[in-house]
């Protein structure tokens, strides 16, 4: 306190003697000398990261400008898209197979949807579910509903049975539109559906082709495609909805650990997610290649948003093909391409060809490009920029790697961290609960110390708001309080991240996936990457399994071997070289195929439940690691019993 008073007095004396301007100059010089002498490392970090942070700050300010401008107008997505259409009516909006849909054609189609749905009783607040495959019509369908003030749950087209029924019921759908290829899936659950649910069957037909008029499909279900063909577009008007902050879509979580949860996407959040990517490396003249499913945030919001909000041309695919990824980019003259999950690994695993570099792709963006293959991928396919981003569908902790640092998923500024309040907090390894200091606030992880990623919640800021799930109880579980200050709240991601000295963030694992073995924490994502790298980019999923009378969980790996070419001796040898002893899988499960989510994430819940018990694992081969020989040996009922009794030591 006395020192502070002395400094103030000295500055005041200099002011009186030299004047204001000289005082400011002297103060800055003294401050600089102080920082260099007493905070040398901070100065180094600041100089090193200033270009990155200032560029990101400029992008962030542009996002705030756009979102606040739209907030003042109180526009919804149909209104925003209409302005885009006015600028580019005849420009291609969506390219799909051999079809070219202009911006005006997409809007006209959506206006037909508005007219049909309104005639069938859809109004503000109605819930109209979509179980529709990728096509230009899909975004037009939910735009037409949004113009009436309806909300659209985008249902995962891979769901069947109980999962499909759950998705329809948890969203409280009043109407369901489903593609004709999913008719059998709907028939399987028809007896369990609410009788009040209105069903429409949709058939994809190329643009400007028609069929004979038909209002029903013979089973009492209205044929939406035929109705759209005979219905003129509704007159354009501002959407009758709840405005920029109103609900637009429900998008379901991937379902890697159980039944999917419906996350709320508002108009403002849709715009924020589209803006966040666009302001990094894209411009309105880009042609964006998107082979991702449109029922998920990545494809249906981030990529589709480039067309609806910014006027880019977006290439849609019915499904992802690793061998056609870059040939498609060349065919459609794409300048940007989207990836997610394990896509890059699958593309890298294709045989090298001249097509690898015969494209115009300037930037790829997405999440899931593993550090182990990052450099190899961009070198082989001649990619100039990579924008790796991170963010949960339901959350507000969204970040991006703006400068292409290999392996990083984003960064936290070391110069002005409070501008975008995100952090990594310490948690208890056993309970997952935040570790707090004496005052009750969360403790923050230091550089290179793993912790759970959080983002501060600010309800009136589109970049910081947290809308959560349709299920309020599920939403509340993702909120932690008293984080930065007493009384605040933050979204807790459930992902373990680590930040280096410069603030770059790296993904480590999911909190529920990391396990402890031989007194050490094992990151499943790191072990999966190591195994896939040495095993010719095969699918590999790692999880911990309980072994009776043994502390912790033993590592187990499910690995795909479709053609019987997996060399187990080589695998054991390579893993001994690349992984510490505690991280090497104790058990192997060799499979012909692996269940994946629609966003190319590997499912492990069922595998973990079956463990290494031969009586539960019927069709796959099991192996255990023999410590003496350093080899994987077959695991049958006899070996299983010896492991339980402790005769075979792990």
State pLDDT tens for residues 287-335.
Answer: 999 999 999 999 999 999 999 999 999 999 999 999 999 999 999 999 9
CB 292 within 8 A of CB 340: yes
Query: Which candidate, 560, 579, 563, 556, places its Cα nearest to that of 632?
Result: 556
Collapsed DSSP state (helix, strand, coil) of residue 362: coil
For residue 215, the model assigns a pLDDT of 47
Collapsed DSSP state (helix, strand, coil) of residue 240: coil
Q: Strands (DSSP E) along 97-231, which ranges?
A: 99-102, 128-131, 152-154, 175-179, 198-202, 222-223
- Which DSSP string corresponds to 396-425? S--EE-SS--TT--EE--SS-TTSS-EEEE
For residue 37, the model assigns a pLDDT of 60
Q: How far apart are CA 193 and CA 88, in angstroms?
A: 42
Give the rounded distance of the alpha carbon of 494 from its chain centre. 13
pLDDT tens-digit map of 28-68: 666 666 556 656 787 788 889 999 999 989 999 999 999 99
CB 612 within 8 A of CB 556: yes
pLDDT band per the 50, 70, 90 thresholds, residue 209: low
583 secondary structure, DSSP code: G
CB 95 within 8 A of CB 332: yes
Query: Which candidate, 189, 184, 134, places its Cα nearest to that of 163?
Result: 189
Measure Cα distances from 478 to 466, 481, 490, 505, 512 in Å: 10, 10, 8, 21, 14
Query: Facing residues of 622 across strands?
Result: 589
What tokens were used for 286? Answer: 């880009």
What is the CB neighbour count within 10 angstroms for residue 476? 10
Query: Which candidate, 70, 64, 69, places its Cα nearest to that of 464?
Result: 64
Q: Strands (DSSP E) along 448-579, which ranges?
A: 451-456, 479-481, 489-499, 504-510, 515-517, 520-522, 540-546, 553-560
CB 80 within 8 A of CB 87: no
pLDDT tens-digit map of 85-122: 999 999 999 999 999 999 999 999 999 999 999 999 99
What tokens were used for 374? Answer: 């990052």
pLDDT band per the 50, 70, 90 thresholds, residue 125: very high
- Out of 254-263, 274-283, 446-455, which region has the weakest mean confidence (pLDDT)? 254-263
What tokens were used for 364? Answer: 């790829």
What tokens were used for 253? Answer: 């979580």
Measure Cα distances from 342 to 38, 73, 548, 566, 599 in Å: 46, 40, 34, 20, 9
CB 441 within 8 A of CB 485: yes
For residue 298, the model assigns a pLDDT of 93
0.85 exceeded by the pTM? no
567's CB contacts (< 8 A; 6+ apart) are: none
For residue 213, the model assigns a pLDDT of 46
């Amino acid at each position: 306190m006395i020192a502070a008073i002395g400094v103030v007095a000295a500055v005041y004396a200099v002011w009186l003697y030299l004047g204001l301007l000289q005082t400011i100059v002297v103060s800055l010089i003294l401050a600089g000398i102080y920082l260099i002498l007493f905070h040398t490392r901070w100065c180094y970090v600041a100089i090193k990261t200033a270009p990155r942070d200032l560029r990101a700050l400029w992008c962030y300010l542009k996002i705030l400008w756009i979102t606040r401008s739209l907030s003042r107008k109180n526009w919804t997505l149909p209104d925003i898209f209409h302005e885009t259409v006015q600028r580019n009516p005849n420009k291609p909006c969506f390219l799909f197979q051999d079809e070219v849909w202009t911006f005006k054609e997409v809007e006209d189609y959506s206006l037909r949807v508005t007219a049909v749905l309104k005639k069938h009783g859809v109004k503000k607040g109605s819930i109209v579910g979509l179980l529709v495959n990728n096509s230009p019509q899909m975004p037009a369908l939910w735009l037409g509903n949004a113009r009436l003030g309806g909300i659209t749950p985008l249902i995962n087209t891979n769901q069947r049975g109980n999962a499909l029924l759950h998705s329809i019921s948890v969203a409280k759908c009043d109407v369901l539109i489903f593609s004709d290829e999913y008719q059998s899936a709907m028939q399987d659950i028809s007896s369990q559906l609410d009788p009040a649910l209105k069903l429409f069957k949709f058939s994809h037909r190329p643009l400007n082709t028609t069929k004979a008029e038909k209002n029903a499909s013979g089973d009492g279900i209205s044929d939406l495609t035929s109705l759209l063909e005979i219905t003129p577009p509704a007159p354009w008007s501002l959407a009758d909805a709840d405005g920029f902050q109103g609900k637009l879509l429900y998008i379901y979580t991937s379902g890697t650990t159980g039944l999917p949860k419906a996350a709320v996407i508002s108009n403002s959040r849709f715009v924020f997610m589209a803006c966040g990517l666009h302001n990094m490396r894209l411009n309105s003249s880009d042609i964006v290649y998107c082979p991702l499913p449109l029922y998920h945030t990545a494809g249906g919001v981030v990529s589709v948003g480039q067309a609806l909000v910014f006027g880019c041309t977006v290439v849609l695919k019915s499904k992802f093909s690793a061998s056609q990824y870059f040939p498609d980019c060349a065919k459609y003259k794409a300048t940007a391409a989207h990836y997610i999950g394990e896509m890059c690994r699958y593309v890298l695993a294709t045989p090298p060809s001249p097509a690898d570099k015969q494209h115009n792709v300037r930037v790829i963006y997405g999440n899931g490009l593993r550090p182990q293959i990052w450099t190899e991928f961009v070198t082989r396919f001649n990619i100039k920029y990579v924008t790796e981003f991170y963010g949960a569908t339901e959350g507000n902790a969204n970040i991006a790697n703006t400068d292409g640092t290999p392996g990083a998923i984003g960064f936290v500024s070391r110069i002005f961290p409070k501008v975008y309040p995100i952090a990594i907090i310490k948690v208890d390894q056993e309970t997952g609960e935040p570790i707090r200091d004496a005052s009750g606030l969360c403790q923050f992880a230091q550089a290179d110390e793993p912790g759970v990623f959080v983002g501060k919640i600010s309800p009136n800021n589109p970049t910081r708001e947290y809308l959560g799930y349709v299920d309020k109880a599920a939403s509340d579980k993702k909120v932690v309080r008293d984080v930065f200050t007493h009384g605040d709240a933050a979204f807790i991601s459930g992902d373990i991240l680590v930040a280096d000295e410069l603030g770059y963030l790296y993904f480590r694992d999911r909190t529920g996936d990391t396990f402890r073995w031989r007194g050490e924490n094992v990151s499943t994502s790191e072990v999966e990457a190591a195994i896939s790298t040495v095993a010719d980019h095969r699918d590999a999923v790692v999880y911990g399994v309980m072994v009776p009378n043994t502390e912790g969980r033993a590592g187990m790996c499910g690995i795909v071997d479709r053609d019987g070419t997996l060399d187990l001796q080589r695998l054991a040898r390579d893993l001994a070289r690349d992984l510490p002893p505690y991280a090497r899988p104790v058990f192997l499960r060799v499979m012909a195929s692996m269940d994946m989510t629609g966003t190319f994430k590997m499912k492990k819940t069922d595998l973990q439940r079956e463990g290494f018990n031969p009586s539960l694992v019927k069709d796959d081969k099991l192996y255990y690691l023999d410590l003496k020989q350093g080899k994987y040996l077959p695991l049958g009922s006899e070996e299983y019993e010896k492991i339980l009794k402790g005769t075979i030591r792990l």
